[in-house]
Structures are given as structure tokens and as C-alpha cells.
A and B are shown apart, each in its own frame.
Chain A
Amino acid sequence: FVPGCFSVLVPQATPVAVFKLSNDFKEDPNPMKVNLGVGAYRTDEGQPWVLPVVKKVEKLIVADNRLNHEYLPILGLPEFRSSASKIALGEDSPAIQENRVGAVQCLGGTGALKMGAEFLRRWYNGNDNMKTPVYVSAPTWENHNSVFANAGFEDVRPYKYWDAEKRGLDLAGFLGDLETAPKHSIFVLHACAHNPTGTDPTHMEWTQVAEVMKRRKLFVFFDSAYQGFASGCLDKDAWAVRYFVTQGFEMFCAQSFSKNFGLYNERVGNLTIVARDADNVRRVLSQMEKIVRVTWSNPPSQGARLVAITLNTAELFAEWKDNVKTMADRVLLMRASLQAKLQALGTPGTWDHITQQIGMFSFTGLNPKQVEYMIKERSIYLMASGRINMCGLTTKNIDYVAKSIHETVVNVQ
């Protein structure tokens, strides 16, 4: 015991896997190295991309003398919140028209999940929800576990989702877990472009999920980080969220604008709240304000302003949708190319899942040993789960990657 030394007994936390991967990649001297681990968009030159519309709007903001640097309201910029919710729910959403939608501007998708989790732990289904089960997909974005656990939920469990053998959705398992979950359990659903598998339920499958959730009174918490990025079309990517609204669900939807606006470092997120009526929304928002006040007090203004201006100006909105499509199209192109090359090489196994999966990520099906081989022998960095970021692929490195996958699958079992 060292007097006055409080930190001597602080335990080392396990490092965040994806950060470690990025670090290892950075330090790798191999000129052929490829980073397929990071969760951000890259151009065909392997560079981050500032969307042209973003550059335009940034200039507008800097030039606008009327804009000040005051604190935003606690719940965020009003025009951002409403336009962001419209993006998720659709402009003609019955919930919006019925004035039963609220929103909280948050620090990225993480912040939105955090606010939603903190609220639910305090107020959902009675006052103390530490024991209410929170279900996250198996697998899922690993931060889901941390956010809900840190918000005080003691019981964060997986629901069956990915079928490793058939390399697709385990619908029966998913529905089964929905049926057996304790009533009022909270389910975190990926709105589209499931991270990390890239496998989404079909419309028909979503209707089945919704039916069980309604019957068993399970809470719907959508995580929507890739709207527009999956198919290239905002409305298509929001189908599941909007379907649930038409089915009368009350729900939370955590939205991120990091990927579809390329605003990774401005932390632009929105928690959309759909409730039975305006009075419920009002009460929920009053509690959200309290929670925000003791977390970050007021959200940052730059990103929200940028998004709000874009979404609320017709020509800019059109330009943005176009930029989003550009990104989505490049991803689709890389998927098609990789699949074609693996097929041409005669790589053992089936590789259709590469083009069937959707969004930024693909679950290749490579096992941990094969992943290790890829990293150590080929300097191709991917997550231990076999997840790759399609954006890490370029026309210049795709041959190398395809050949490496081939070599790995053939030599390592």
C-alpha cells in the first residue's frame, strides 16, 4: 500500500479489440499491408472521404455571421433532431403526423444508445431495471455490451442470430429466443447492414420478428448506424424501422450520422423516440434532459448544424443522397469483385454470402486460425471473428486479398 496512491489497485481493463487491431496495422512495416478491420469508409485510394456536400456546408457555416457558438439546448439543435427523425421514420410517417415522436441529439450512435439505455434502466417497466434482460444479437457490435452494462443493466444476453454453418440468419433460433425471453425484455435490433455479419432479415422475416415482439411485449431498440449505406437508398434501408412503427410499436432508434455523412469526428447522433402520444413523449424527453445534463450537459453543435442544413435544404439533400450512393456503390462493387475473384481462383467453399450480405461488413467465415494466418503471414488485418470491412478493399489491393484468402483457406484449417 502506497500512502496517497489511490490508483495502485486499479485493474487493467482488457483492450478494445478493434483499436488494438488498428494499432498493430499501423506498426506493420509490410508495404502490402491491408486494413480490413476499421469501421470507416475509404475511397478506392484507401483514403477517408470528406463528402463534397459536407465541404460545401462547412463553408456555408463558417461564412454565416449569424451563427454563434453558444451552448445548444440540452436536448440538442431542434432542426437537427426533427430532420434526423424524419430520415429514419420517413417524412410521411404516421407517428410524426400524430405528433408522437421525440428526439435527443447525442454524441454519435454510441451516445444515442447510452441515453436510451440510461433512460430505460431508470424508467422502463417500473423504476429499477437493473435486472431487466437486454438482448443483443450473437454476434453484435461489441460496444453494445459495454454501453448497456455500464448503464446498469446486469443481465445483457445474446439472442441467436448468425448461423455459422449456413452462413446466414438463424431465423428459427432468433424467433425461438424471442419466444422464450422474459416479457418486457429489451431487444437491440440492427436496423440494416448488421454489424458484424452484414446479414439482415428479409421483409418477411422482419414481419415474423415483429409479430412475436408485439405478442410478448418486448421492447424495440433499433440501432441504425448505416442508413443509406446498405442499399444506397435511405428509404429502403429504413424499411424495418418504419414497418415496426406501422405495427404500432413504441420504440427507441439510435441513429448515427458518422458513416453516412462521413462525420466520424464530429459525433453526430440522434435518439428517436416513438411513443403512444405527445404527452408520453414530453415526459420521456423531460427525463432525458436530466440524464443528458449529468453526462455531457449539451451536445456539440458543429456536426448537428451541418446535418440539419443539409437535410433541410433541397439541393443539398439531393447532393447528400448522391454522395451516399457513391459510397454504397463502391462497396457493392468491391463485394462483386471479391466474390468473382474467389470464384475464379476456385477457392474452396461457397462465397455467395459476400454478395448476399449488405453494408460495410462481411462475415467471411474465416476461422480464428485462418484470421491469424492472414494477419501474420499476409499482413491483412481483420477481426478475429472473420469480419472484414469491404471499404478496406480497393481495385489495387483486391487481387492480393483474394489470393491471400485463397491461400489461407487452402493451407489452414
Chain B
Amino acid sequence: MRQTCNSDGGVGSTENVQARGITLLSIFVDTPTAEPNPETKLLADFKTDTHLSKVYLAGREYLNKEGQTSVSPLVGKIMQQICTDPTLCPEYPSSFGLPEFTRRATELVLGRDCHAIVENRVLGVQTVGCTGAVRLGAELLKHWYNVSGVWCGPVYLSSPCDDSLAGIFEAAGIQDVRRYRYWDTEQRGVGVQKMMEDLEMAPEQSVIVLSASAHCPTGSDLSQKHWRLLTQLMVRCRFFPFFLLPAQGLCHGDVQQDAWPVRLCASLGMELLCAQSFSHSFGLYGERVGHLLCVLKQSSTLLAVQSQAEKQVRALWSRPSVRGARVVATVLSNPAHHVEWQEGVKSMVERGILVRERLREKLRLLGCPGSWDHLIQQGGLYCCTGLNVQQVEFLEKRRHIYLHPNGCLNPQFCLAAPPGSLQRRHTPKLAVWLCLSTHRIIRVSCLRSPLPSL
């Protein structure tokens, strides 16, 4: 077939030109370039930054001492075993995933003796990561009906929250997505009063997305006292809690404590959804091990909900991938492995706390204005410095230190050099720059930006 040049500059065959006639335009010609998601953009900016000592602190993963994601020796050993196990067959799993996995994932959140489990009013579905769990949950909610017809929202998300959350609900067809105030810049913690105020105004049967622990991206969580107040409010206003639990165990170093808010709601007989991920707690990011837990008020509704879940999964991804789930199930089903895993998680948390303390101490020694106690009060993967937009921009543009635009960072990335960066041990340097940025902005524009509390 002879090649010719078309008038639009594309290359095509002679036959194509003749056959297409005047249609030389692509079907996709009207498809615009999508706005990159903020995280992708930040990482791309970092990658094109040529500054020698640039630092990226907005990563999503837990890192070991070498600055790498890794799996524990236990997980590595189990993966080997699975690979050589002749009894495992490559069958399609059910749409709900591996039964052993969903059972253990459910027990991990609720506790084995939870009434809801005993009374057979829980449904567990293995999903493709936490995102998959939220998406499935959102799709299920569309089949919740109320007396006036199909439920269509609203869904309330914390401000701030993971930047993909709103999009997930919208993709599932729930357009009415609102925010409740969560992070209080002045207090550098959860502004509980404002949160409750916002939620009091929400209509009945609103779905409230709540972080059970290790809030993303601030790392700031409610106290148990505040959880009790919140759940009272939710019962009174007939709200539906949708929990996010992406790193159970990695907040307090204790799986029970991290799941406490979910267990509280379950013990009050509430219906709820809970999206879980095992990416962080097992280092299995690439395997996409997630779980959606549904706790129902009555066991009579279980079959209907189960049938809807199967239907939705079938149209999303049909069935999940098993490898990662198999590893998690193997660990959680074996008491010795379970203990070893929990201990591993605990030491990850201890390392995280150490970094935070080091950072806070450095800032104190530098005489950085403001209080930095919130750094050690927060838990989990993330940390919200409390820096404002201008200060974050200063760090990025002038010091080549990359934080989330909302001032949040992953303290683990301070420990060791991410790939591409020359420097190790950023904590001292970061502290210096955090301090300088705070000073500088105060000097330059103290009227414009809110001052950190002294």
C-alpha cells in the first residue's frame, strides 16, 4: 500500500485517503487533554526540576530505611511459597474475591466477636485497592433507595481529603458531593466544632465519608470522645457512615485502636461501609489488595445487597486479582504470622514517630516560629505542616522541596533519599527550609497570609 501525506499532515495509505474522502479528522479530535491530577503534576514537576538537591516529600508509600518500598521477610517468604504451591489453581475467583481473605479482612476491622458478624449481617468484597472499594461502595449506594425513590446524595467529604475521592463518587453517578470542614489551620488539627456545625446542616440520609484513622492527607484524627459525639449526631440525623481505613495498624501501631471508630458504629447497630487497603500495611502496593466491608442492620437484607454487589463488580472488573489477597489471607489466618505481621507494623509506626519527633525537635532548635506539636500528634502516613499555599510554593519554587499544595507531606520521605535525589537525611535540611519559609513569608507579606499560631 503506497504511503502518501494527507493534508492534515498525517501519513496514511492511498487507499485510506480515497476511502476516507473528506474525513481526515480523527474521531478523537474533540477529546481534550485532561488536566493532570495534582499528584501526577507535582511528581512531573519534580522530575523535570534540574536542581541537584531537590526533594520529593509527597509520596504515597511507606519507605524503609533505604528509602525503598519493601515487603517484610515474612511476606517475601509467603510469596515464594505461593509461587511453588502445586495445589493452587488458576481458576477465576468469585466476584467477591477469595473467601478466606474477605473473612480475615472483615474480622480485622470489626473484631471476630462483633455482633454483626455473628448475626450474619456483614458482606465483605475483595476489591482492587482502596479506590476500588470506594468505587464499589459508591456504585452500591446508587442502589440504596429511600421512600422518595433512588438515593442520589449528598455525599460529604472532609476538607481536605484525597484528591481522587470526589471524582470516584461522580464517576459512579453521584453528582451531589459536598465538603465538611475538617482541618483547622489555626488549631493545626481537626476543627471538631466546625465539622459538627457543617454536619448538623446536612440533610437526612447523607453519606458521610470519614477517616477511621491516619486521615489522608492531614494525619489528624478525631479523639475517641469526639467520635462518640459524632456518632450520636449521625444516629440522630440518620447519616450513613462510609469509613476509609487505608492503613489499619499504621496509625497507632495497634489494629484495634485504628479501627475503633468503625467498631463503635457497628456496636451501636449502625449500617456502614468501610473501604480498606492492605497496600501500606503489607507493602503490596502493586498487587492492589483492597476490601469493601458492608455492615447491615438486618440479616434479611444481606442477600439483596450481595446480589447487587456481584452485579456491580461484574460490570467494573468482573473479579479481582488474587495474588496479593492470597498473601494477606495466609498471614492473617495463621496466628504466628499474624503476630509477626503486627509487630512489623508496630516497628514501622515507631520509625515514623521517630522521624516526626526529629523534625519537631529540629524546628524547635532552629527557633522556628509557631508550635510544631501537631507533627507528633498526627499519625499514620501523612503529616500536615500547617504551611499555607504561599509557603508551600516558596518551598517548591525556591528550595525545590515538594509538598502537597495543602502543606501535607509524607515524613517517611525525609528519612532517606528518594531515587533521583542526591541527598540523604533530609530532616535537618527540611527543618531549616520549613523554618525559613515561615520566616520569609512573615517578613514579606505578613498582612496577606495567616500567621502560624505562636
Contact = CB atoms under 8 A, between A and B. Distances in A.
Given A146-B315, A295-B132, A217 B321 contact: no
A295 B131 contact: yes
A62 B301 contact: no
Interface string B226-266: 00000000010010100000000000000000000000000
B90 to A, nearest CB: 5
Interface in A44-94: 47-50, 54, 58-59, 61-62, 68-72, 74, 94
Contact of A264 (B68, B91, B296): B91
Contact of A280 (B31, B130, B310): B31
A14 B311 CA distance: 8
A326 interface: no
B37 interface: yes
A114 to B, nearest CB: 6
A405 B307 CA distance: 33
A303 B323 CA distance: 9
A289 interface: yes
Contact of A250 (B28, B269, B271): B28
Interface string B153-168: 0000000000010011
Contact of A277 (B10, B37, B130): B10
Given A48-B89, A280-B29, A286-B34, A69 B287 contact: yes
A265 B19 contact: no
Interface stretch (A5-13, A173-181, A199-207, A378-386): A5-13
Interface string A308-326: 0000000000000000000
A173 B143 CA distance: 37
A341 B128 CA distance: 46
Given A265-B90, A283-B32, A293-B167, A111 B15 contact: no
Contacts of A293: 37, 131, 164, 167
A123 to B, nearest CB: 5
B131 A297 contact: yes
A31 interface: no
A177 to B, nearest CB: 21
Contact of A286 (B33, B171, B312): B33
A5 B271 contact: yes
B10 A276 contact: yes
A150 interface: yes
Interface in B121-146: 128-132, 135, 139, 143-146
A123 B94 CA distance: 33
B143 A248 contact: no
Interface string A279-305: 010111011011101111111111100
Nearest to B88: A50
Contacts of A276: 8, 10, 24-29
B167 A290 contact: yes
A9 B238 CA distance: 16
A146 B311 contact: yes
Contacts of A6: 144, 146, 151, 205, 240, 271, 297
Contacts of B320: 107, 267
Given A59-B83, A69-B71, A263-B90, A15 B307 contact: yes
B90 A264 contact: yes
A265 B28 contact: no
Interface string B77-119: 0011001100001111111000000000000000000000000
B357 interface: no
B286 A265 contact: no
Interface of A is mostly: loop
Interface string A7-46: 1111111111001000000000000000000001000000
B402 interface: no
Contacts of A247: 15-16, 19
A215 B368 CA distance: 71
Contacts of A217: 23
A158 interface: no
15 contacts: A1-B147, A2-B298, A14-B307, A54-B90, A70-B286, A94-B1, A118-B171, A125-B27, A263-B90, A283-B31, A291-B171, A295-B131, A300-B128, A300-B323, A302-B286
Given A71-B286, A275-B26, 7 more contacts: A4-B297, A68-B68, A69-B287, A265-B92, A282-B33, A286-B33, A300-B321
Interface of A: 1-16, 19, 40, 47-50, 54, 58-59, 61-62, 68-72, 74, 94, 98, 106-108, 110-111, 114, 118, 123-127, 143, 146-147, 149-152, 214, 217, 219, 246-248, 250, 258, 262-267, 275-277, 280, 282-284, 286-287, 289-291, 293-303
Interface of B: 1, 8-13, 15-16, 19-20, 23-34, 36-37, 40, 60-61, 68-71, 79-80, 83-84, 89-95, 128-132, 135, 139, 143-147, 151, 164, 167-168, 170-171, 173, 205, 235, 238, 240, 269-271, 279, 283-288, 294, 296-298, 301, 303-305, 307-308, 310-312, 314-324
